[in-house]
Structure 1
Amino acid sequence: MGNADYVYPSSAPTAGEGGDCLHRAAIPPPQPFLKSLKNAMKETFFPDDPLRQFKNKPPAKKMILGFQYFFPVVEWGPRYNLGLFKSDLISGFTIASLAIPQGISYAKLANLPPILGLYSSFIPPLIYAMMGSSRDLAVGTVAVASLLISSMLGAEVNPAQNPTLYLHLAFTATFFAGVFQASLGLLRLGFIVDFLSHATIVGFMAGAATVVCLQQLKGILGLTHFTHSTDLVSVLRSVFSQVHEWRWESGVLGCCFLFFLLITRYFSKKKPKFFWISAMAPLTSVILGSLLVFLTHAEKHGVEVIGELKKGVNPVSITKMVFVSPYLSTAIKTGIITGVIALAEGIAVGRSFAMFKHYNIDGNKEMVAIGTMNIVGSCFSCYLTTGPFSRSAVNYNAGCKTAVSNVVMAIAVMLTLLFLTPLFHYTPLVVLSSIIISAMLGLIDYEAAIHLWKVDKFDFLVCIGAYAGVVFASVEIGLVIAVVISLLRLLLFVARPRTLVLGNLPNSTLYRNIEQYPNAGNVPGILILEIDAPIYFANSSYLRERIMRWVDEEEDRIKASSESTLQYVVLDMSAVGNIDTSGISMFEELKKILERRGLKIVLANPGAEVMKKLDKGKFIETLGHEWIYLTVAEAVAACNYMLHSCKPNLVTDEKAEPWNNV
């Protein structure tokens, strides 16, 4: 690559001119430590400044605003009208038709009594309608959380041998999940959920969906005994070791209903205005399956049915929670893990639909709302709930306007609990398995995985790691693998930041990466490097070594091309947001090493925090304020002036006058 002619900035001095027209980076005024700490904490935990609406308000108004903050219904409720109610009424009954069969199905997936699925679709939606900030989120149980509860609690207590203890542990885990979720929101710790990256969620959800589908082979094939493990090998071994137990009646019935559900979903995708066909398909399957079993007495020929469901709304369960060893640690661990997954899904779904309708939801408010509804729910025979994507998508497509659609759904479920539960006696379990499989297939987002492969191979590795961990080990291990890989990537980014060689774009004062812009030319005698990350103890040694390697490579290039010798190393610090004491020590060492080789270090555009730290660390005094400039162009102009002037080299001649006195 040939050198481009250096172009002076309009304000830069040329040979024989003074240097006062150049702008040097300023040291910000000192700030008290407590004030600085307060600002940092505020930006970390209160970036949205939720207290700004309380400023300069009388006490009565502050109380009303505080109540509205935790109960948004108080704010939008007075503006509610009949027109909005008509839309919410239709949406509510539509999602109720999906919530009832899904609730029963997911409760079975969690190895809990089916009636708990209906209980969990009654109380939590009412709480969320008062406290949630999303207009579109439809609250209910979800398959992934149900699978987690089944696998984590099932490893400690066998649900078949000790169903009462298992049930009580489910309530306890839900309670701790709610406490954890609400605490994250109240303490403004919502950024913790951000460690579950998009790639992690894609792989984890797909892996969980695969495992759930495989486990439904028990219902499809009419098997009585089945493994409690969730990994692929255990499930397939359990299926094929019982070939003689397969029920063809159950298999045929399951395949027929699964085909019906998939066809209706495909049709609704092709014709979005007929979304209600797909939404009504699960309830239609339950009705048809129940009628078929009732008329043919298929339950006497190997087709298992739900059996009796108790009438009545949620009984109190607060006295049934388990807070004693050895099960307390299991309940807490299950609650935290399922709580994080439920939060990630609920907030992601809520934000997605809020974006479509051009409004914002508060992530911390959502955590408090979801946590509160799980705390209250655990006291009334509910297990973990959040905002599932499938139900929320139906709610959105049905034209919901507010969270009242959740209230309508809850009332519909309440009426079912009071009057209609006997109708589910003959519902075949194979239909529930078909409903779960059809819902889970939508979570296997292979298009997103392909997109990750095209855009970012490391993100694809995170996705595949999560998927493989879930499918071949367990749900918890898959989640841990994905989070660990994501954190390793983050640590690698911090520990091995990029450094780029910059060149001058012809006929401009712009300096850009020479790999990205091949026409950017080197400035004779000057090496310009950009540091692309904060400088901390974890990367300071690497940066010193990498900068020296750039210097060695530049000197080798100069020798090969017989150009002017290298005399200045300009470091563009625009992207260096912060620096610690290890970073300052690195600069001191780098300065000494470069000076021994006859080179001068020049800094360009260090930020306020960096300047403050460099000043307190006495590095600016050591380097000289005259070698710190506002832009790369001005730093290069100063170096270039010294190269073209008759002044001695400032590095090797201690008697040379400072640049700002020339």
Structure 2
Amino acid sequence: MGNQENEETILHHQQRRRVEVQAPPTKPFTESLKSSLKETFFPDDPFRQFKNQPLSRKFLLGFQYFIPILEWAPRYTFDFFKADFVSGITIASLAVPQGISYAGLASLPPVIGLYSSFVPPLIYAMLGTSRDLAIGTVAVPSLLISSMLAKEVDPRTNTKLYVELVLTATFFAGVFQASLGLLRLGFIVDFLSHATIVGFMSGAATVVCLQQLKGILGLLHFTHNADLISVVRSVFSQFHLWRWESGVLGCCFLLFLFITRYFSRKRAVFFWINALAPLTSVIFGSLLVYFTHADNHGVEIIGYLKKGLNPQSITELESVFKSTYLLMAIKTGIITGIIALAEGIAVGRSFATYKSYHIDGNKEMIAIGMMNIAGSCTSCYLTTGPFSRTAVNFNAGCKTAVSNIVMATAVMITLLFLTPLFHYTPLVVLSAIIMAAMISIIDYEAAIHLWKVDKFDFIVCISAYLGVVFQSVEAGLMIAVGMSLLRILLFVARPKTYVMGSVSNSMTYRSIEQYPDANSVPGILILQVNAPIYFANASYLRERISRWIDEEEEKLKKSAKYELQYVILDMSGVGNIDTSGISMLEEVQKNADRRCIKLLLANPGGEVMKKLNKSKFVDKIGHEWIYLTVGEAVNACNFMLQSCKPNTKAVVESEAADNQV
């Protein structure tokens, strides 16, 4: 009884000397919900600029917010235009051959690739926030479109219906992308982790390169499947149909493209050599075929390209809406839309970092979505901001999105007057252009870095790569996303807990696993929980804490010097807790009480304290057992051990001396 009174006196004395852990003021539910939703969907607080502004000013700011060109256009100068004109012409020289090439990769008529480099860049220039992003068609979504839709409709025998399906898929991709931006759901794209993107893009690039063997070898018929086995089988089953003329021509142009890239990388000032190499290859290839009549000797050419600007294609969309292929078009649009969106935003953010400016992710989604919606109505297929074209735009010294307008103008002139010049362009040159672009996407250095830093990320990367290469592009994507989500679930369901000790020559307490020289405190077990406590991990944490206590008691029994009397839970890493987590803490406390062990909490956060107060857990454990820091909790426990009970170590030493006597 005396010891109990003494303990209460000591606790009261300790309570007066320390800062009490408090919960934040309780807010009404509606205000708390509003705050949570605002932080989730509007973390950048886009409405702060509208505060304390007159109505006319609010209207102007609103137009500038949704149409960013209205914000920066008044400050546009002639010096900016000179830089944008040069960069726009430079990327146009890349856009024309790439547009034709990637259209073939999507099993579309080549002219649609040119259409896709005219309307979408104009829309993006008005709505986008990136100064460097160069809009155009990209290889991986093009391959994905072909691999998904060609299974339903043969693009060779039913070209009209196939084109209608592609345009409809582009429409739904745009609707999906714009909806993510308008609903502020951009965080969904973040589920495509860096490891996922590296593996997926490298796998898709590998498959794209393999599929270009059709053009390099001059094969007329080829598999629509995108997996390695199907491609290799298709290549070697037609061994007798290989065209050596086409193969020699393809290897020569491929070597030329690699040499120009190597030279441009060694001398950054000559970046334009690599940028002009694809167009130069197209010109030389066309002249070679024209003067040697190689088209009569097994070298396939593009043939007739229709002159004129983009025809409207709304009627094509209407026909698919009434067909049985609508669900397939929606599925293709959503999958390809996610890939295009992730690539465009990632590329835009990367180059924005170089120039130290910020791009708005949600505005980018709206811009990319709107340009694809407009594109689907004007005979364009899916576009985004490809890395290769954006890098050229950046190196050419672009200042604003006007470079996209210059590029679109150059493509418009090409459509109006220059398309007949591409009649003799050999398909093998287009295949070489695609292969040269795709090989640079296979990022083996990033995979090696992932292996060194995080083995699980490397597994995700390799799984995505193998899934794409040996199964299909969409299967590889699903495998990678599934493994990334599995990792998130494992982090949530199996959070890390650590035993802590005092670091030598300091007042801090850290994980003994991280600091092996840290000293454990006799009779006190300090545990750190590094995750919010939810229903998904509450049961695991209860079992894990019990095991830590069991292991500590066994260790102390072997030493025969101390008994475990206090368990301190460091809650600094617990950002939130739900009712299951509170029930878990109550069970841990009861288990500790049965063992005559006292449970203490250290540094619980505001949200945690708020819920512990409301659940009456604070009353059960006692306010005096909740401390601001681990150090305060340890000092209190040591003070209790020294004041309430005799020194255990001294007793043991005294007994040993008596035994010797």
TM-score, normalised to structure 2, is 0.95
In structure 1, the partner of 2:460 is 462
Distance (whole Å) between structure 1 residues aligned to residue 230 and residue 296 of structure 2: 30
Distance (whole Å) between structure 2 residues aligned to residue 19 and residue 304 of structure 1: 88
Distance (whole Å) between structure 1 residues aligned to residue 419 and residue 572 of structure 2: 66
In structure 2, the partner of 1:355 is 353
1:29 correspondence with 2:25: yes
In structure 1, the partner of 2:82 is 86
In structure 2, the partner of 1:377 is 375
Match of 1:103 among 79, 99, 104: 99
Report how far residue 28 of structure 1 moved. Answer: 2.2
Where does 1:92-171 land on structure 2 (aligned, <5 Å)? 92-171=88-167
Letter in 2 for 1:255: C
Q: Which has the higher helix share?
A: 2
Q: 1:540 to 1:18 in 2, by over 3 A?
A: closer
Letter in 2 for 1:438: A
Kept in 2: contact 1:103–1:141 (CA 8 A)? yes
Please state whether the residue corresponding to 2:550 is helix, strand or coil. helix
In structure 2, the partner of 1:45 is 41
In structure 2, the partner of 1:635 is 633
Please state whether the residue corresponding to 1:502 is helix, strand or coil. strand
Q: 1:16 to 1:336 in 2, by over 3 A?
A: closer
Is the deviation greater in 501-510 or in 564-573? Answer: 501-510
In structure 1, the partner of 2:597 is 599
Where does 1:210-609 land on structure 2 (aligned, <5 Å)? 210-321=206-317, 322-609=320-607
Report how far residue 469 of structure 1 moved. Answer: 0.5
Kept in 2: contact 1:125–1:407 (CA 8 A)? yes
In structure 2, the partner of 1:187 is 183
Letter in 2 for 1:187: L
Show structure 2 runs of 5+ residues with no match. Answer: 1-8, 648-661
1:56 correspondence with 2:52: yes
Letter in 2 for 1:179: V
Show structure 1 runs of 5+ residues with no match. Answer: 1-12, 650-662
Letter in 1 for 2:228: L
Alignment RMSD, CA only? 1.4
Is the deviation greater in 36-45 or in 560-569? Answer: 560-569
Q: 1:99 to 1:15 in 2, by over 3 A?
A: closer
Kept in 1: contact 2:14–2:636 (CA 8 A)? no
Percent identity, aligned pairs only? 73
Letter in 1 for 2:265: K
Kept in 2: contact 1:177–1:335 (CA 8 A)? yes
CA deviation profile, 1:265-305 (whole Å, cap 9, x unmatched): 11111111100000000000000000000001111111000
Distance (whole Å) between structure 2 residues aligned to residue 417 and residue 86 of structure 1: 24
Is the deviation greater in 636-645 or in 340-349? Answer: 636-645
Report how far residue 524 of structure 1 moved. Answer: 1.0
Report how far residue 158 of structure 1 moved. Answer: 1.0
Kept in 2: contact 1:15–1:645 (CA 8 A)? no
Kept in 1: contact 2:15–2:624 (CA 8 A)? no
CA deviation profile, 1:550-572 (whole Å, cap 9, x unmatched): 11111122122233100000000
Distance (whole Å) between structure 1 residues aligned to residue 403 and residue 12 of structure 2: 77
Letter in 1 for 2:219: L
Distance (whole Å) between structure 2 residues aligned to residue 486 and residue 211 of structure 1: 23
TM-score, normalised to structure 1, is 0.95
Distance (whole Å) between structure 1 residues aligned to residue 247 and residue 111 of structure 2: 25
Distance (whole Å) between structure 2 residues aligned to residue 511 and residue 117 of structure 1: 62
Report how far residue 643 of structure 1 moved. Answer: 1.0
CA deviation profile, 1:433-477 (whole Å, cap 9, x unmatched): 000000000110000000000000000001001000000000000
Kept in 2: contact 1:15–1:644 (CA 8 A)? no
Q: 1:241 to 1:171 in 2, by over 3 A?
A: same
Distance (whole Å) between structure 1 residues aligned to residue 199 and residue 156 of structure 2: 31
Kept in 2: contact 1:211–1:232 (CA 8 A)? yes
* Aligned pairs, number: 637
Kept in 1: contact 2:498–2:527 (CA 8 A)? yes
Letter in 2 for 1:616: K
Please state whether the residue corresponding to 1:263 is helix, strand or coil. helix
Kept in 1: contact 2:11–2:624 (CA 8 A)? no
Distance (whole Å) between structure 2 residues aligned to residue 15 and residue 158 of structure 1: 81
Letter in 2 for 1:252: V
Report how far residue 319 of structure 1 moved. Answer: 1.2
Letter in 2 for 1:137: L
Report how far residue 616 of structure 1 moved. Answer: 1.4
CA deviation profile, 1:473-529 (whole Å, cap 9, x unmatched): 000000000000000000000000000111012333210111211221111111000
Distance (whole Å) between structure 2 residues aligned to residue 177 and residue 19 of structure 1: 61
